[in-house]
Amino acid sequence: EVELVESGGGLVQPGGYLRLSCAASGFSFSNYWMSWVRQPPGKGLEWLGNIKEDGSATNSVDSVKGRFTISRDNVKKSLNLQMNSLRGEDTAVYYCAREIPGQHVALDYWGQGTLVTVSS
């Protein structure tokens, strides 16, 4: 059974940093692109970026470029999101998700999410 479990969320001060992880199981992790998506309180979903199967390429939205970095460890079957220079507007539930191969970022499995709160 495919399972994605995020961890690492919590309360952080503005300007601080946090590293989220997503543990994958039940599928061949190294064969899939993976994405990060977030949902601020009371708002809709926002795609943050993704990473290629072997980690050799990433894409990200302008709002997080230069602050957030996506990486992966295919041996540990782990997806990571390093978040620096955090702002209040980064407060959200963060989800990792698996992409269907060849379907241009159709996300077929999602984790339950981890809450990040940026506040002083």
Partner 1 sequence: QSVLTQPPSVSGAPGLRVTISCTGSGSNIGAGFDVHWYQHLPGTAPKLLIYGSNNRPSGVPDRFSGSKSGMSASLAIIGLQAEDEADYYCQSYDSSLTAVVFGGGTKLTVL
Structure tokens at 28: 């061949």
Beta bridge partners of residue 83, listed in sequence order: 18, 68
Shortest reach from residue 58's CB to partner 1, in Å: 12
Distance of CA 59 to the CA centre of its chain: 12
CA distance 70 to 2: 21
Q: Can residue 7 be called a binding residue for partner 1 (CB under 8 A)?
A: no
Residue closer to partner 1 by CB (options 16, 26) is 26
Q: Can residue 117 be called a binding residue for partner 1 (CB under 8 A)?
A: no
Place of tokens 């692109």: 33
Site for partner 1 in 45-84 (CB under 8 A): 45-47, 50, 59, 61-62
Contact positions vs partner 1 (CB under 8 A):
35, 37, 44-47, 50, 59, 61-62, 95, 97, 100, 103-108, 110-113
